[in-house]
């Protein structure tokens, strides 16, 4: 497990890192916090150069993955790890729209992202590409589950050693969906925030590439592709309103950065886009700050079934808060019961089985529509970020059961009669 030895070789439009708070500049290396003010670092690009280089045609000629946007990502060509991540469907959700009373609703469906069925495959693809460039041989992360799945899978494909850290109480599907790839897995007795603190200590001691610590500035750039893809899939235009889940707040702000970069580079026309964020009531530090009009986020101790977004001390919380306010969006939270109803609603209307985080986002969408906070005519894009097969425990017992029958026609017919007297089919008729 050797330490990283190389710095980036400036063969991309990425020109350096800069502190989001004080603006101090750094070269492209494996670091994430400003030495002067402890603010987070972000990758800076040469947009004048990009304007001459990137066109709609050059993008369309690229691969059907996030790497079609490689000029806007901080990785030189020779280090790209492309496992088909990205370019997930943007589905016109007509049946869900009708149920909610909307007219132009789209689902960006990262529940079927490759290879591990969550948006984390985007950020990990960028982080591990950068890790290869930097020369890291061991990769690590602090994860609520999806990130561990993605890091372990892509590290296996890339032939990198891998050690991941998760909270010990994670869903079975997320644990198995990590260990199957053969990494070392540390199940930490504590919540994500405690896992994260431990990882910061480990990162200071071991020469490992932590995708969401010392590689975080590169890692988080991967989320911009959720902005790029939506703009491209809408026919090179921005939506009116987006609704996305809030965990650390990074995804939310990077979708915005993606839209803004497309404007800067001349790929789409500028227009106002409203940003609305979704949290689970059991872990809603950003929603609480929003509701109380605060410009700071008070950490909370998470207690919700939406474990993948249960970050009590969100690193980019204040930036998410600021973004929702300045774009005339909203931040809202929902109960665990509403989250399960959201999962069922999306499955029954659109045939998409999402995890608890996706149920949170759908439930918040519904709540915002009912409160008159989404205009029925707005082109609204809802981001679904993970797959329901990973959080099966959360809905077991809350969805229908099969009718157990004998392999005989009369046994079937008796069950069919029973089923027709139950909610199920009536409910379906309501749906149609």
Please give the annotated binding residues for pyridoxal 5'-phosphate, written as ranges.
Answer: 146, 385
Q: Residue 302, interface with its own copies (CB under 8 A)?
A: no
Residues 6+ apart with CB under 8 A from 154: 81, 83, 115, 116, 121, 124, 125, 128
DSSP 395: T
327-352 per-residue burial string, b: 16 or more CB within 10 A, e: under 16: bebbbbbbebebbbbbbbbbbbbbeb
Using the rule CB under 8 A, is 396 a contact of its own copies? yes
Residue 381, token pair as written in the block: 């894009």
Residue 275 in the binding site for its own copies (CB under 8 A):
no
* Separation between Cα atoms, residue 78 and residue 147, nearest integer Å: 24
Q: Which is nearer to its own copies, 298 or 392 (CB)?
A: 392
Distance CA 42, CA 56 (A): 25
Which residue ranges are tagged as binding site? 146, 385
Residue 185 binds its own copies, judged by CB under 8 A: yes
* CB contact at 8 A, 72 and 53: no
Stretch that binds its own copies, among 201-209, 217-225, 248-256, 362-370 (CB under 8 A): 201-209
Task: Choose, by CB under 8 A, the member of 211, 334, 352, 357 that binds its own copies.
Answer: 352
Nearer to its own copies, 13 or 315 (CB): 315
d(CA 145, CA 185): 11
**Nearest partner of 223 among 84, 324, 109, 123, judged by Cα:** 123
Among 39, 135, 190, 266, interactor with its own copies by CB under 8 A:
190
What's the farthest any 2 CA atoms get from each other in the chain?
77
Residue 64 interacts with its own copies (CB under 8 A)? yes
Query: In angstroms, what is the minimal distance from the CB of 292 to its own copies?
Result: 30
Q: Is 57 in the site for its own copies (CB under 8 A)?
A: no
Tell me which residue of 310, 391, 364, 340 sits closest to 111, measured CA to CA.
391
What 3-state class would DSSP assign to 380?
strand
Choosing from 13, 28, 91, 297, the residue that interacts with its own copies (CB under 8 A) is 91
- Contacts of its own copies in 359-388 (CB under 8 A): 387-388
Binds its own copies (CB under 8 A): choice among 17, 226, 280, 347:
347
User: Under the criterion CB under 8 A, does residue 61 sit at the interface with its own copies?
Assistant: no
* Total residues interacting with its own copies, rule: CB under 8 A: 88
Q: Which CB sits closer to its own copies, 175 or 381?
A: 175
Among 67, 219, 353, 383, binds its own copies (CB under 8 A): 353
Q: Which is closer to its own copies, CB of 104 or CB of 253?
A: 104
Q: From residue 397 to residue 426, what is the string marking binding to its own copies with x (rule CB under 8 A)?
A: --xxxxxxxxxxx--x--xx--x----xx-
**Region near its own copies per CB under 8 A, out of 6-14, 115-123, 257-265, 304-312:** 115-123
Window contacting its own copies (CB under 8 A); options: 35-43, 111-119, 263-271, 276-284: 111-119
Q: Which long-range contacts (CB under 8 A, 24 or more apart) does 58-63 make?
A: 59/232, 59/267
Distance (Å, whole) CA 50 – CA 180: 40
Peptide bond into 115 cis (omega under 30): yes
Listed ranges 21-29, 51-59, 106-114, 276-284: which one lies at the site for its own copies (CB under 8 A): 106-114
CB of 353 within 8 A of CB of 347? yes
Q: Is 109 in the site for its own copies (CB under 8 A)?
A: yes
> Could you say which residues in the range 24-53 bind its own copies, by CB under 8 A?
none
The answer to whether 188 touches 165, Cβ cutoff 8 Å, is yes
- Report the residue number, 291 or 422, with the smaller CB distance to its own copies: 422
| Subset of 147-166 contacting its own copies (CB under 8 A) | 152-159, 161-163, 166
């Amino acid at each position: 497990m050797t330490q990283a030895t190389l710095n980036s070789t400036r063969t991309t439009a990425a020109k350096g890192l800069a502190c989001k708070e004080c603006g101090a500049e750094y070269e492209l290396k494996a670091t994430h916090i400003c030495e002067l003010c402890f603010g987070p670092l972000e990758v800076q690009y040469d947009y004048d150069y990009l304007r001459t280089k990137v066109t709609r045609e050059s993008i369309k000629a690229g691969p059907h993955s996030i790497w079609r946007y490689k000029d806007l990502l901080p990785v030189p060509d020779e280090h790209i790890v492309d496992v088909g991540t990205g370019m997930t469907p943007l589905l016109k959700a007509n049946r869900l729209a009708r149920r909610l009373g909307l007219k132009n609703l789209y689902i960006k469906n990262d529940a079927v992202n490759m290879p591990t069925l969550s948006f984390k495959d985007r950020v990990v693809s960028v982080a591990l590409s950068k890790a290869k460039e930097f020369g890291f041989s061991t990769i690590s992360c602090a994860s609520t589950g999806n990130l561990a799945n993605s890091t372990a899978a892509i590290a296996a494909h890339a032939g990198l050693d891998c050690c991941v850290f998760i909270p010990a109480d994670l869903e079975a599907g997320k644990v198995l969906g990590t260990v199957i790839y053969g990494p070392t897995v540390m199940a930490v007795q504590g919540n994500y925030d405690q896992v994260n603190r431990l990882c910061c200590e480990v990162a200071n001691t071991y020469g490992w590439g932590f995708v969401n610590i010392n590689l975080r500035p590169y890692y988080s750039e991967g989320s911009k592709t959720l902005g790029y893809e939506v703009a491209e899939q809408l026919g090179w235009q921005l939506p009116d309103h987006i609704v996305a889940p809030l965990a650390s707040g990074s995804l939310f702000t990077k979708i915005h950065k993606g839209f803004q970069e497309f404007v800067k580079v001349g790929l789409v026309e500028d227009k106002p886009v409203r940003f609305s964020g979704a949290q689970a009531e059991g872990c809603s530090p950003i929603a609480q700050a929003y509701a109380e009009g605060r410009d700071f986020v008070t950490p909370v101790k998470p207690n919700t079934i939406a474990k993948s977004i249960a970050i009590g001390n969100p690193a980019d919380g204040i930036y998410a808060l600021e973004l929702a306010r300045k774009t005339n969006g909203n931040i809202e939270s929902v109960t665990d019961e509403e989250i399960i109803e959201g999962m069922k609603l999306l499955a029954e209307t659109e045939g998409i089985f999402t995890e608890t985080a996706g149920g949170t986002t759908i439930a918040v969408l519904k709540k915002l529509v009912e409160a008159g906070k989404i205009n029925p005519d707005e082109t609204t894009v809802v981001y679904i970020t993970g797959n329901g097969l990973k959080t099966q425990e959360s809905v077991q017992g809350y969805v229908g059961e099969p009718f157990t029958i004998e392999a005989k026609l009369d046994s079937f017919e008796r069950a069919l009669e029973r089923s027709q007297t139950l909610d199920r089919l009536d409910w379906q008729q309501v749906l149609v």
